[in-house]
């Protein structure tokens, strides 16, 4: 008789080592070429960080990616994981590329470059309503940071930039 298969959540929780310094849960199983952990769940290979997020925090919202606040791709600590848009993921990777050294925790003391701040302060129309900035719209609608910009870039009508005059005339 075959031994009973070990359930995926147990393999996940047995499959990492804690880095006591950073708190990262480092995946000890299979890794992708780009360094993400991989686990086989019900016959399918999935990202170990993604599986960990779903296990601890719930389903990943449609179209969202799981971002590492610690920047360690093999880390599966749910406290280091959050859902964000692809645009946000790319924007963060770019910002981190500008940082000196790679050993600091990227979420502490991280500032947006001035160019990004200016762009975020432009008024936007999101789902038919006007907001003074992308940040305001995201806060009002409970969206992840970067979602509005992602929608604007997709140009499918969910979000667009509007002029300051139009915002002030209708606000
Ligand atoms: Zn981590």
Give the tens place of pLDDT for each residue, 7-22: 889 999 999 999 999 9
Per-residue pLDDT, 1: 62
Ligand 1 center from residue 146 Cα (angstroms): 21
Per-residue pLDDT, 112: 43
Question: Are the C-beta atoms of residues 148 and 134 closer than 8 Å to each other?
Answer: yes
pTM over 0.85: no
| pLDDT, tens only, 100-154 | 344 444 444 444 444 444 445 788 898 888 988 888 888 888 877 778 888 888 8
Q: Which one is the CATH code of 1-103: 3.90.75.20, 3.30.1050.10, 1.10.150.120, 3.40.50.10380?
A: 3.90.75.20
Ligand 1 center from residue 75 Cα (angstroms): 5
Q: Indicate where the chain has its CATH 3.90.75.20 domain(s).
A: 1-103
Q: Is 3 exposed, middle or buried (0-12, 13-18, 19+ CB in 10 A)?
A: exposed
């Amino acid at each position: 008789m075959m031994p009973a298969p070990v359930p995926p959540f147990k393999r996940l929780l047995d499959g990492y080592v804690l880095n006591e310094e950073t708190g990262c849960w480092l995946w000890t199983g299979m890794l992708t070429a780009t360094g993400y952990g991989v686990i086989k769940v019900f016959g399918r290979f999935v990202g170990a960080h993604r599986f960990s997020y779903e296990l601890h925090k719930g389903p990943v919202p449609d179209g969202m990616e799981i971002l590492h606040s610690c920047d360690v791709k093999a880390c599966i600590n749910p406290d280091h994981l959050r859902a964000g848009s692809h645009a946000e993921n790319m924007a963060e990777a770019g910002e981190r590329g500008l940082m000196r050294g790679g050993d600091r925790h990227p979420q502490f003391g991280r500032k947006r470059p001035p160019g990004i701040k200016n762009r975020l302060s432009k008024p936007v129309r999101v789902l038919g309503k006007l907001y003074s900035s992308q940040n305001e719209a995201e806060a009002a609608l409970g969206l992840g940071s970067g979602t509005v910009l992602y929608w604007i870039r997709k140009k499918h009508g969910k979000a667009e930039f509007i002029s300051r005059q139009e915002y002030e005339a209708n606000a």
